[in-house]
Amino acid sequence: MSPSPTVAPAIELIGIDKKFGAVHANKNINLTVAKGSIHGIIGENGAGKSTLMSILYGFYQADGGAIRINGKDTVIHDSQAAITAGIGMVHQHFMLVENFSVLENVILGVEGGALLGRGVSDARSALKRLEADYGLEVDPDAIIEELPVGLQQRVEILKALYRGAEILILDEPTGVLTPAEADHLFRILGVLRDQGKTIILITHKLREIMAITDTVSVMRRGEMVATRQTSGTTVEELAELMVGRRVLLRVEKGPAAPSDVVLSVRNLTVKDGRGVTMVDNVSFDVRAGEVVGIAGVAGNGQSELLEAITGIRKPASGEIFIHGQSVTGLDAARLRTLGLGHIPEDRHHMGLVLGFEESENSILGYHREGRYGRGPLLDLDACRDDAKAKIEKYDIRPPNCRLKTANFSGGNQQKIVVAREIEHDPALLVVGQPTRGVDIGAIEFIHRRLIAMRDAGKAVLLVSVELDEIRSLSDRILVMFAGHVVGEKTPDTGEQTLGLMMAGIAA
Amino acid sequence: MSTASVPLPNWITYGLMPFLNLVVAFLISGVVVWFIGESPLEAVKLLLQGALGNGEGIGFTLYYATNFIFTGLSVAVAYHAGLFNIGSEGQAYVGGLGAALASLALDHYVPWYVTMPFAVIGAAIFGAAWALIPAWLQAKRGSHIVITTIMFNFIGAAMMVYLLVHVLIVPGKMAPETRVFLEGGQLPKLDWLIAMFGGKIGAAPFNVSFLIALFMCVVVWALIWRTKFGYEIRTLGASPTAAIYAGIPYVKTVILTMLISGGLAGMMALNPVLGASARLQVEFVGGAGFVGIAVSLMGRSHPIGIVLAAILFGVLYQGGDALSFDMPKITRDMIVVIQGLVVLFAGALEYMFRPAIVRVWQRFGKA
Ligand SMILES: Nc1ncnc2c1ncn2[C@@H]1O[C@H](COP(=O)(O)OP(=O)(O)OP(=O)(O)O)[C@@H](O)[C@H]1O
Ligand SMILES: [Mg+2]
């Protein structure tokens, strides 16, 4: 449906400019978003997408420029003002109180009076209404930390709608979702648009842009370089606009030459914190020179399997061997000395300390090594030189190893982790969601590095909810369902077949 | 979402904000003083004069500050690992035993500078020992360190009284204290340091412990920011899950950190026991352990901040004494109230003005 031209655009950004010290994150950005449309924004990691949205949401103040909402000049000096102007935001990293219920999170900050009673029951019926209108089912009494990410995200959307949002900003909403969850989200967004809401969608997945947006804008290095009608463009054109060169959207690799077994898992059973069995009697091998992919819908035990192999969680029973040596129950530090590298699924909780300088994170887990200082001492110069080399090689932006890690864009944070783990040249690399939140140029780069690891005779174990990624990188695919490995397939197996196995329907 | 994660330049976070907090604490104190019918301006003048007006005042101020530097460092080291050590008070108290034993054993035979290293080590070992059980309980059993260290403050106090009354007391004397150490068991005054600035130290007990405290500031700084263990401490404090990911051993890190924290608290005893009274007395710590919490908070757990905050509290202690002497209406208790206000604003409410400052900064700061 195309918006009528007489209606003022929902959002007009005029000449928005923003600097963080030496980093020019937004350069004179102009953007017009029509009312009742879904507008995609794409761009490389660090291009300035999140910054621009944070300005619109009042989280940062622009150094220059103006914002017009529904044709009216609007000053948005904090997020409260944004909410008043009808803008809601679902952040790249959720902002929920983990041990509160859904309902409590939704009303947080808008409780309505000092006593909770009235507000809560009002909110409950309001939630019911939103659920019915937009297909946003979620149990209002569920505790956030017990919900899968897909539902947590729904809570974020509910929060925004409950506050009366007419304009909804979603920053990389599908980064953490399974394909099915993503589809569901897009259906919800479609309904929202049809009811007249305006949506801005930031994503790295061009497929999603093509599937759901009406218009798409491309950012590169702080500038808005192009805006296109989605129907009039192609994935290839967008990729080129984003990166400034042609991008190979497929992984090129020769046949694998597997040799000795590096990782061997035998009858492994792993329980989660509540004592529920998440991995049930699983056995498999990974050989030097091959990539083994584990496919599965999130929550079927892949995370716990990775945690057990990488020394983060003690298995309940079974054994793990690296190069034939039993390593069951060893901690991550010992495992690293035995040649394990680990790119964790959740970079914010595990892979990085966000308050540290970049250079400090580039040694995390390897900090005891002699090259980072003699004996007990930490040699900061050595750490920084090392970090600078990785920044250069992996094109981490901005190239400043003294910058606080939290101030890097999401994709660049991921590159910090990937660089650290690959550069330590492990014999066995265990990888969870390596390209989550990473732009297509960087995906291409990371995929190449992983294949290069394989070709150099390393063993790679890969877990990803991106079926495409699993299929294009793996030499063998193990499908996990409900804690079991339900089958092993070759990478040319059709998406359909794998999908059915992942759903526990076929084996 | 609010202003909480909007970045501010360092000079605001570490300079302007503590300063504003301090100003507010003093303004409210001023109102209190005015209420009881004294002139606030006069009171400030007396306070500053008492604390900094002459060599003796400065000596006292720095004497108190020395205590607070040790306990502030103690709290800070634990804090970097995400541990809240409320037990510096008790650790310092027990540390006094270690220091005193060294002096009692050696003062007949050797000069002070030979005794000193033994006393330092004794104080540190005894203080560390007093932190060991809470540390172990936290690391192995998950008993909360705040609770256990508070309990150990009480146990420590009871134990020290018992020892002083029944074991260490000089036979035939009434006072629960050890014998007076000979010169070989004392730390000399820093009269020459005050004299360098043209002052006279008078009766102030300002002594060599101050230099030890400054030295420990450097040691703590190097430990936290220039060693691999310090890196592990900071990782654990900033992100326990990242620490597991990196294979940083939780039990070992928690216990070692608390031993260091307890050791620093124990060393505080050098100042009053070997430096001031030349004997071990009951309750010589006098709340310095708790002030250390405020000093560490206010000093943002950094040695430089801790030294500045410790001197501020030294001024309040010494100046407060002088003030209650000159203005009888302002009692000792009033001084405690004023100190409490500073703790409240500079420590507990340290971020109170942040949202407002962020707003002003966003609107005008970058022009
Ligand atoms: N608070 C900050 N301080 C300093 N630099 C910052 C800050 N926030 C963002 N930046 C920098 O501004 C640039 C733009 O970052 P932004 O987060 O907007 O990128 P992005 O387009 O959202 O990238 P991604 O796709 O990786 O999420 C980056 O170079 C980033 O490092
Ligand atoms: Mg972003």
Task: State the DSSP string of A43-66.
Answer: E-TTSSHHHHHHHHTTSS--SEEE
Q: What structural domains does chain B harbor?
A: 57-309 (1.10.3470)
Q: Quick one: average pLDDT of B40-57?
A: 91
What superfamily would CATH give domain A261-502? P-loop containing nucleotide triphosphate hydrolases (3.40.50.300)
User: How many angstroms away from the CA of B183 is the closest CA of chain A?
Assistant: 38
| pLDDT over threshold 90, residue B333 | no
Q: Using a CB-CB distance cutoff of 8 angstroms, which residues of chain B are in contact with residue A354?
A: 238-239
Where are the alpha helices (H) located in A277-431, listed in sequence order?
Answer: 302-309, 332-337, 358-361, 380-394, 410-423
Q: Which atom of ligand 1 is nearest to the CA of A403?
A: 4
Q: Tokens 């500078």 — which residue?
A: B113
Q: Tokens 């992942």 — which residue?
A: A502
Q: Please tell me if residue A356 touches chain B, with a CB cutoff of 8 Å.
A: yes
What element of type H or E holds B76? helix B55-80
Q: Domain A11-243 adopts which CATH fold? A: Rossmann fold (3.40.50)
Q: Using a CB-CB distance cutoff of 8 angstroms, which residues of chain B are in contact with residue A344?
A: 245
Q: Which atom of ligand 1 is nearest to the CA of A21?
A: 4
DSSP three-state, residue B307: helix
Rounded CA-CA distance A130/A484 in Å is 37
Task: Work out the burial of residue A471: count CB atoms within 10 Å of its CB; fewer than 13 is exposed, 13-18 middle, 19 or more buried.
Answer: buried
Residue A218 and residue A52 in contact, taking contact as beta carbons nearer than 8 Å: no
Range with lowest mean pLDDT among A13-27, B19-33, B183-197, B213-227? B19-33
Centroid of ligand 1 to alpha carbon of A400 (angstroms) = 13
CB hemisphere CA count around A48 (13 angstroms): 26
Q: Using a CB-CB distance cutoff of 8 angstroms, which residues of chain A are in contact with residue B367?
A: none
Q: Please tell me if residue B241 touches chain A, with a CB cutoff of 8 Å.
A: yes
What element of type H or E holds B223? helix B209-226
Whether A351 sits inside 8 A of B235 (CB atoms) is no
pLDDT of the residue at A113: 60
pLDDT of the residue at B1: 35
pLDDT of the residue at B91: 98
Give the residue among A339, A289, A278 at the shortest CA–CA distance from A311.
Answer: A339
- Closest alpha carbon within chain A to B250: A331
Closest-CA residue, ligand 1 atom 17, reads A409
pLDDT of the residue at A118: 65
Mean pLDDT (chain B, rounded) = 91
DSSP state of A256: -
Q: Using a CB-CB distance cutoff of 8 angstroms, which residues of chain B are in contact with residue A59?
A: 1, 6
The amino acid at residue A127 is L
- Chain B from 3 to 32: CB within 8 A of any A CB: 3, 6-7
What element of type H or E holds A317? strand A317-322
Q: Please tell me if residue B238 touches chain A, with a CB cutoff of 8 Å.
A: yes
**Best residue for ligand 1 mutational test, from A407, A413, A443 (most atoms within 8 Å of Cβ):** A407
Rounded CA-CA distance B122/B174 in Å is 27
Whether A378 sits inside 8 A of B228 (CB atoms) is yes
Of B229, B239, B247, the CB nearest to A311: B247
For chain A, domain boundaries? 11-243, 261-502
Where are the alpha helices (H) located in A244-352, listed in sequence order?
Answer: 302-309, 332-337
Identical fold at A11-243 and A261-502?
yes
Residue B65 φ/ψ, nearest 5 degrees: -55, -35
Residue of B5, B219, B231 to mutate when probing chain A, most A C-beta within 10 A: B231
Where are the alpha helices (H) located in chain B, listed in sequence order?
Answer: 10, 17-35, 40-52, 55-80, 88-106, 112-136, 145-162, 191-196, 209-226, 228-238, 240-245, 250-267, 288-298, 303-326, 332-342, 354-360
Q: Are strands A291-295 and A261-271 parallel, antiparallel or unpaired?
A: unpaired
Q: Count of residues for chain B?
A: 367
Whether B359 sits inside 8 A of A78 (CB atoms) is yes
| pLDDT over threshold 60, residue B341 | yes
Residue B118 and residue B267 in contact, taking contact as beta carbons nearer than 8 Å: no
Ligand 2 (ion): which residues have CB within 5 A?
A 50, 409-410
Rounded CA-CA distance A260/A324 in Å is 10
Q: How far is CA A397 from CA A25, A230, A355, A357, B204, in A?
A: 11, 29, 17, 14, 57
Q: Quick one: average pLDDT of B68-82?
A: 97
Global model pTM greater than 0.80: yes
Residue A503 and residue A297 in contact, taking contact as beta carbons nearer than 8 Å: yes
Residue A41 and residue A219 in contact, taking contact as beta carbons nearer than 8 Å: yes
What are the pLDDT tens digits along chain A (507 aa)?
Answer: 455 557 889 999 999 999 988 889 999 999 999 999 999 999 998 899 999 999 999 988 899 999 999 999 999 988 889 999 999 998 767 788 888 888 888 888 776 665 566 667 888 888 888 888 887 888 888 888 888 777 888 888 888 888 889 999 999 888 777 777 888 889 999 999 999 999 999 999 898 999 999 999 999 999 999 999 999 999 999 999 988 888 777 788 888 899 999 999 999 999 988 888 999 999 999 999 999 999 988 788 999 999 999 999 999 999 999 999 999 999 999 999 999 999 998 888 899 999 999 999 999 999 999 999 999 999 999 999 999 999 999 999 899 999 999 999 888 999 999 999 999 999 999 999 898 888 888 888 899 999 999 999 999 999 988 888 999 999 999 999 999 999 999 988 888 888 888 888 865
Residue B228 and residue B248 in contact, taking contact as beta carbons nearer than 8 Å: no
Q: Is the CB of A398 under 6 A from ligand 1?
A: yes
Ligand closest in space to the Cα of A45: 1
DSSP three-state, residue A168: strand
pLDDT of the residue at B2: 45
Of B2, B246, B366, the CB nearest to A332: B246
Rounded CA-CA distance B1/B3 in Å is 7
Residue A484 φ/ψ, nearest 5 degrees: -110, 150
More confident residue, B8 or A70: A70
